[in-house]
Amino acid sequence: MTLLDSKQGNSHDPRRKMEQNVNRGEAIIKVEGVSQAFGAEGDPRRVVALESATLDIARGELLSLIGPSGCGKSTLLNIIGGLTTPTTGRVTIDGQVVKGPSPQKVAYVFQENTLFPWRTVIDNVKLGMAFQGVAKGERHERARHSLEAVGLLDFSDHYPAQLSGGMKQRVQLARALGLQTEVLLMDEPFAALDEQTRMVLGEDLSVLLARTGKTIIFVTHSLVEAVFLADRVAVLTARPGKIKRIIDIEEPHPRKSEFMTSAKLGNLRNELYGLLHDEIRKTMTHQPAEAGAGA
Amino acid sequence: MRPKLGIGQRLIQLGVLILILVAWYVGTLPGHINPLLLPPPAPVFKDFWQLLTNSSIWPDLWVTVHEWLVAVAIAAVAGCTLGYIISRSAYAVRVFDPLLAGIYSIPAILLFPLYLLFFGLGSGSKIAIGTTIAFFPVVLNTIAGLANVDKAYIRAAQSMGANDFQLFWSVMLPAAFPVVLTGLRLGCIIAFLAILGGETISSLAGLGHRIVSLAENMESAQMFANIVFAVLMAFIINGVVSFAEARGRRGFQ
């Protein structure tokens, strides 16, 4: 079973995304002059992770954030999700300023495994809904649906420890989908997986996400993953992270596996590599030790 | 969880016990150790059998078990409550965790003479020493369990909208539960040892009291029979509490 077995969201037209690429809709998320510094002003250890980032994210688009380690990609994601309060600037979702987690609008898929080991797969998905405030009677059916969407319905009663790394990430995705939010934030969800697993998961994810029509921000280290999944790729500079360039990926969703091997993807990847190369060098010469301020 | 012991390891364990019995038997053959100091196995087991079959030990057994239950209950409630309060603030953990760990390293039995003055020769002083000794592993493990819950779990729960109660009940508590349970198990076992020790130092009733008065009357065989009984009790308590711990862990996994 794969992510492709989804019966969820069949009413969505897969071409919806393509049209939005051409004629991008209104911005659902606005990032306005957001900076984030760790440590007090004047402290020699003060680290500016992110500097005046400004970015609009259109409804229904998939935006990849890519940049060297420590450039503030995850910090930016956490600010959008309301898990971190920015030092300056603000983020609005649907016109409302983000002041804390907004579980009704935003769901997360984390890099690390955050499934609760003492609960079964389906109970993990249901617990997320309980936290969000879904009525008790609805949780079971909704949890079954989202597990079916990621192809893990048969593993409902397993415990997370009995699943592989890739399966755990799919359960985390199911938990996020079960919350039925408009926005999905994914923080290097496949970083801990091997390359082959992440390639297949990436293809499945493209199909699934095209169907759901969600607005997605996807942080990744992988150039190929960024190009393959995203409508736009935002490249961040070395710390302090600024948005260096945004590249459009004009390719209809869902992305086919042929796109993975196409010259078009190769060229875009090379363009990203050119943009990133100098930034990565900078981080290696200027920052011999990782300050641990968040990637 | 420990792997199940094979038959070989069981035989070695049994062999050691048999070796001790044999040494005991040989050592107490006529002309060796004075039977007033160490009686031979046969009369000890005869007295032990009598102990089990007639009911003379029950009042003393009940005194000890009662003291133990009260001490463990007070220590569990106080330790878990205080541990929870301290774990709420990282500052409090930094201040109180090393302090409590430091006090824990003082041999608490030194407080026993003081407790005798405060609470008298009866059950009060035994309950006090049992509570004091059991309190520390419970409070320390409660702090360790609750303060060290993986931050990623907390972040994930908050991102999904968990309120403070949900965060505690559905995330913190199950995550900390195995560690807290280990503290409770340790507390139960060392409280029993402390209470028996207290009874042998100064008391009016209880298993320890019986053992000491038999020793004073030079009833060596009966004294040893009572010691065997006390050892058996300790084994049973250890077994029951470990079983409860394993069940409790499984209930949360």
Residues A241-271: tens digit of each pLDDT: 788 888 888 888 788 888 888 888 888 888 8
Does any domain span residue B70? yes
CA nearest A158 in B: which residue?
B253
Shortest distance between the Cα of A108 and any Cα of chain B, in A, equals 7
Shortest distance between the Cα of A277 and any Cα of chain B, in A, equals 31
List the structure tokens of B160: 């999904």
End-to-end alpha-carbon separation of chain A, Å? Answer: 33
Residue B78 CA to its chain's centroid (Å): 17
CA nearest B165 in A: which residue?
A131
Q: For B122-137, what is the mean pLDDT?
A: 94
Interchain proximity A114–B156, CB inside 8 Å: yes
Interchain proximity B166–A131, CB inside 8 Å: yes
Nearest Cβ partner for A103 among B159, B170, B177: B159
The Cα–Cα gap between A77 and B124 comes to 59
Residue A33 CA to its chain's centroid (Å): 21
Looking at residue B3, its pLDDT comes to: 61
The Cα–Cα gap between A177 and A187 comes to 15
Looking at residue A193, its pLDDT comes to: 80
The Cα–Cα gap between A80 and A7 comes to 30
Kindly give, in sequence order, each residue whose CB lies less than 8 Å from that of residue B166, ignoring residues fewer than 6 positions away: A130, A131, B157
Determine phi and psi for B42, rounding to 5 degrees: -55, -55
Q: Which residues between 136 and 195 in chain B have a beta carbon less than 8 angstroms from any beta carbon of chain A?
A: 152-153, 155-163, 166, 170-171, 174-175, 177
Q: What's the CATH code of the domain at B236?
A: 1.10.3720.10
Looking at residue B51, its pLDDT comes to: 85
The Cα–Cα gap between B244 and B242 comes to 5
The Cα–Cα gap between A197 and A191 comes to 11
DSSP string, B157-191: HHHTT--HHHIIIIIIHHHHHHHHHHHHHHHHHHH
Disruptive mutation site among B153, B159, B167 for chain A (greatest number of A CBs within 10 Å): B159
Residues B195-230: tens digit of each pLDDT: 999 999 988 888 898 999 988 888 888 888 999 888
CB B125 within 8 A of CB B195: no
B251 touches chain A (CB under 8 A): no
CB A101 within 8 A of CB A83: yes
Write the CATH number of the domain with boundaries A3-105+181-286: 3.40.50.300
- Identify which has the larger pLDDT, B30 or B163: B163
Looking at residue A286, its pLDDT comes to: 59
The Cα–Cα gap between A265 and B131 comes to 70
Determine phi and psi for A8, rounding to 5 degrees: -85, 140
The yes-or-no verdict on residue A18 having pLDDT over 50 is no
Does any domain span residue B157? yes
Compute the radius of gyration of chain B from its Cα atoms.
23
Does any domain span residue B42? no
Residue B187 banded pLDDT, cuts 50, 70, 90: very high
Q: What is the mean pLDDT of chain A?
A: 82
The Cα–Cα gap between A54 and A75 comes to 14
Three-state secondary structure call for residue B30: coil
Show the 3-state SS of chain A.
CCHHHCCCCCCCCCCHHHHHHHCCCCEEEEEEEEEEEECCCCCCCCEEEEEEEEEEEECCCEEEEECCCCCCHHHHHHHHHCCCCCCEEEEEECCEECCCCCCCCEEEECCCCCCCCCCCHHHHHHHHHHHHCCCHHHHHHHHHHHHHHCCCHHHCCCCHHHCCHHHHHHHHHHHHHHCCCCEEEEECCCCCCCHHHHHHHHHHHHHHHHHHCCEEEEECCCHHHHHHHCCEEEEECCCCECEEEEEECCCCCCCCHHHHHCHHHHHHHHHHHHHHHHHHHHHHHHCCCCCCCCC
Q: What is the mean pLDDT of chain B?
A: 89
In chain B, residues with a C-beta closer than 8 Å to the C-beta of A103 are 159-161
List the structure tokens of B159: 């991102």
- Identify which has the larger pLDDT, B244 or B77: B77
The yes-or-no verdict on residue A210 having pLDDT over 80 is no
Q: Which residues between 110 and 129 in chain A have a beta carbon less than 8 angstroms from any beta carbon of chain B?
A: 110, 112-114, 116-118, 127-128
Does any domain span residue B156? yes
Poorest-pLDDT segment among A45-49, A168-172, B27-31, B91-95: A45-49
Does any domain span residue B3? no
Does any domain span residue B41? no
- Identify which has the larger pLDDT, A23 or A50: A50
The Cα–Cα gap between B142 and B86 comes to 9
Instruction: Identify the domain containing residue B135 by its residue range.
Output: 57-251
Shortest distance between the Cα of B175 and any Cα of chain A, in A, equals 8
Residues A27-45: tens digit of each pLDDT: 889 998 888 888 877 778 7
The Cα–Cα gap between B69 and B128 comes to 12
Length of chain B: 253
CA atoms within 13 A on the CB side of A115: 31
The Cα–Cα gap between A104 and A255 comes to 28
Interchain proximity B161–A133, CB inside 8 Å: yes
Interchain proximity B175–A118, CB inside 8 Å: yes
The Cα–Cα gap between A32 and B41 comes to 86
Burial of B224 (0-12, 13-18, 19+ CB in 10 A): buried
Give chain B's domain count: 1
The yes-or-no verdict on residue A17 having pLDDT over 50 is no
Interchain proximity B253–A117, CB inside 8 Å: yes
Point out which residues pair with A229 in neighbouring strands. none
Residues A86-126: tens digit of each pLDDT: 888 899 998 889 998 889 999 999 988 899 998 999 999 99
Residues B146-156: tens digit of each pLDDT: 998 999 999 99
**Dihedral sign computed on CA atoms, order A167, A173, A175, A177:** negative
Looking at residue A174, its pLDDT comes to: 92
- pTM comes to 0.75
List the structure tokens of B221: 């065989």
List the structure tokens of A277: 């190369």
CA atoms within 13 A on the CB side of A92: 10
Residues B54-82: tens digit of each pLDDT: 888 888 889 999 999 999 999 999 999 99
Looking at residue A294, its pLDDT comes to: 42
The ipTM assigned to this model is 0.80
DSSP string, B214-242: HHHTT-HHHHHHHHHHHHHHHHHHHHHHH
CB A215 within 8 A of CB A236: no
Looking at residue B252, its pLDDT comes to: 56
In chain A, residues with a C-beta closer than 8 Å to the C-beta of B152 are 110, 112-114
CB A210 within 8 A of CB A229: no
Disruptive mutation site among A74, A113, A116, A168 for chain B (greatest number of B CBs within 10 Å): A116
CB B65 within 8 A of CB B230: no
CB B83 within 8 A of CB B143: yes
Looking at residue B69, its pLDDT comes to: 95
Looking at residue B2, its pLDDT comes to: 56
Residues B84-117: tens digit of each pLDDT: 999 988 899 999 999 999 999 888 888 999 999 9
Nearest Cβ partner for A103 among B152, B161, B171: B161
